[in-house]
Structure 1
Amino acid sequence: MSLFQNPISRRNFGLLLGAAGAALVARPAFADDAARTIEHRLGSTEIKGRPQRVVALEFSFVQSLDAIGVVPVGITDDNQPKRIEQLLGKKIDYSSVGTRLEPNLELVSALTPDLIIADEIRHSAIYAQLSAIAPTIVLNSWEGSYQTIKEGVVTIADALGDKAKGEKAVADHEAVVAALVAKIPAGEKRRFLLAVATPDSMSLHTSSSFTGSVFKAMGLTPAVDSSDAVESGAGLERLIAVNPDVLLVATDAGGTVLDQWKSNSAFANISAVKDSNIFEVDRNQFSRFRGLKTAEMIAREILAKVYKA
């Protein structure tokens, strides 16, 4: 007897073949339950499938996720949700899991995440606890350079099962920055400094900081060249010694040491002050946030403030 003697069987067999072919075409690069190993700052983590419920414990990770179209279920927003809106330029739905310095592990666990992204400096001490909740990868955000942050985007995308999407996000971002950098006049030799001013002192962001390394990527020269990202506790004497040509001062609301120093005649001799190249910038955008969108914002802000472009 022929296998296809019954016409209904023949039709059903054809449908089965078509469905099988469609399944082969639609099949992802790896099976949804396939395990892969993601290397990170504290070792390696095995991740299965494509995580859907991500908790981000640093601002830069939120921007990285946004760059690849992912909204985290939980964020350490420092209990200030408006920061997340400023970080992304839009509102998103998420649950706060405390502060970046002290994430609330009970809140993290309650969200039943299938991936946690943590910072090396802030969260190494609780890595084991985080890993007991969900697979956790640890990246360098707090002291991360521009290059480190870009690499982190790709690592996060890889952890989510789509490394190519992360690579494309970085490539698209680099094209945006290149177009902005092209507007900077040729032959720029001045030395740029970002300083975070508080009521008591200044912190100088060096060539190794996120903002300092963005300066370098733009072809600008950071005023402080150091392997340490931030030089904390700088006084007026140190600022005078650095003598930046362009000074960007990041502040929160309220008075800072800069208000006191302005009455000191020595302050007036700093090149940036003499040439009226001192600019106030937002502390969140220039210091707290780190990400692809932030780098683009820094480039645009420098063009607008320094070059009037």
Structure 2
Amino acid sequence: MRTPRTFTTLLAATALALTVAGCGSAGDEAGGKRAGDGKDTTAAGGGAVTVSHLKGSTTLDKPASRIVALEWTYAEDLLALGVSPTGVADVKGYDQWVTGGPRFASSVKDVGTRQAPSLETIKVLKPDLIITSKVRSEGNYEQLNKIAPTLMFDPYSTDSEFEEMRATLRTIGTAVGKADAADKALKDLDGRIAAAKKKIADGGKAGGEVTVARGYTTDGAAVVEVLTDSTIPGGLLPRLGLKNAWTGKTDAYGMSKVDVEGLKPVEKSSFVYVAAKDDDVFATSLPKNALWKNLDFTKGDRVHGLDPGTWFFGGPFSTAQAADEIAGALTS
């Protein structure tokens, strides 16, 4: 069951726990004020750092440099900080689904799937930090933590995945001695969002209602998941000068699984979606459905497919890409 908590509570807890020692400092595929006001300890000699995460506090003798990321969100965060991870779970999948931002260097080692990474491969890499999520590693956290200090986050336990993404990037930035880079990455993201908002306003679409979804096929049937206000796209929409038309009940990942009839309440909105190129149910199976064909957004040509590599559960690059794609779709 989803357990909402306000971002204010999350940020307050992080601000209390995130310090620099000596200085005072989502299906299955669903990753303001500076948290802790941490400093970039690299510039101060790379001293010990203590960071707060889901499992409590972790202290590193110095900012980490050999990092294994077991969730795509945190691998993307490292790239946004200018840090090349030593290992990443499912590199091939990342390249397919997470297309915002730079690619990994050829030296980055694939450590297996996100659901079941190879502990032996991770151990051989001799990381000084592992970063993972609760949904992936609740069962093997202790094993991972014996290999290297392990930070665990849970983006889905908050009622604002957008704000949680920002706070987590700052926490990771402190852990790897790149707090200033985290601030810059978020400033760049805010700039991209502002540009997308202006594009929408200039196109006469400000204030419009939008439904954001993703779709895929399971057991031969089309599955549609609509993103609620708690998700990153849900957090983006008001920042783009738009309204989220969807107010349905959320699942553990911030989405609502619906059938075609369930989309009737939002048919007056614009409908934007992400689907794989080889499994675009909105372009193949759903157009054969009479109910789908009679929805107002279908008849009004307001159904827009976004780049299939737009990842709704990522870091600053993915979030910026989502803003760009939504703005482009509504104004094209």
TM bin (shorter chain):
0.7 to 0.9
Point out the structure with the larger helix share. 1
Aligned-partner residue type, residue 83 of structure 1: Q
The count of aligned residue pairs is 280
Structure 2 vs 1, CA of residues 293 and 132 (structure 1 numbering), >3 Å: closer, same or farther? same
Alignment check: 8 A CA contact 1:207 1:227 kept? no
Query: Is 1:249 the equivalent of 2:268?
Result: no
Alpha-carbon RMSD across the aligned residues, in angstroms, is 2.6
Aligned residue in 2 for 1:5: none
Quick one: which of 174, 194, 198 aligns to 1:178?
Answer: 194
Aligned residue in 2 for 1:272: 297
Q: Secondary structure at the match of 2:207?
A: coil
Alignment check: 8 A CA contact 1:196 1:204 kept? yes
Aligned residue in 2 for 1:215: 237
User: Which runs of 5 or more residues in structure 2 are unaligned?
Assistant: 1-40
Q: Secondary structure at the match of 2:140?
A: helix
Quick one: which of 91, 107, 118 aligns to 2:132?
Answer: 118
Structure 2 vs 1, CA of residues 52 and 244 (structure 1 numbering), >3 Å: closer, same or farther? farther
- Cα shift at 1:171: 2.0
- Cα shift at 1:257: 4.6
Aligned-residue sequence identity (percent) comes to: 26
Question: Which deviates more, 105-114 or 57-66?
Answer: 57-66
Give the distance between the partners of 2:94 and 2:243, measured in 1 at CA: 34
Aligned residue in 2 for 1:284: 309
Higher relative CO (CA 8 A, sep ≥ 6), structure 1 or 2? 2
Q: Secondary structure at the match of 2:199?
A: coil
Alignment check: 8 A CA contact 1:79 1:99 kept? no
Alignment check: 8 A CA contact 1:57 1:76 kept? yes
Q: Secondary structure at the match of 1:303?
A: helix
Q: Secondary structure at the match of 2:241?
A: coil
Give the distance between the partners of 2:267 and 2:51, measured in 1 at CA: 44
Alignment check: 8 A CA contact 1:79 1:98 kept? no
Alignment check: 8 A CA contact 2:173 2:182 kept? yes
Aligned-partner residue type, residue 223 of structure 1: A
Quick one: which of 173, 197, 200 aligns to 1:157?
Answer: 173
Alignment check: 8 A CA contact 2:210 2:269 kept? yes
Query: What TM-score does the superposition give when structure 2 sets the normalisation length?
Result: 0.76
Matches within 5 A, 1:1-309: 30-32=44-46, 34-77=47-90, 79-80=92-93, 82-83=95-96, 86-93=99-106, 94-141=108-155, 145-185=161-201, 188-199=206-217, 200=221, 201-225=223-247, 228=251, 229-243=253-267, 245-255=269-279, 257-258=281-282, 259-287=284-312, 290-308=314-332
Q: Which has the larger radius of gyration?
A: 1
User: Which runs of 5 or more residues in structure 1 are unaligned?
Assistant: 1-26
Q: Secondary structure at the match of 2:309?
A: helix
Give the distance between the partners of 2:239 and 2:305, measured in 1 at CA: 22
Question: Which deviates more, 229-238 or 291-300?
Answer: 229-238
Q: Secondary structure at the match of 1:182?
A: helix
Give the distance between the partners of 2:140 and 2:268, measured in 1 at CA: 39
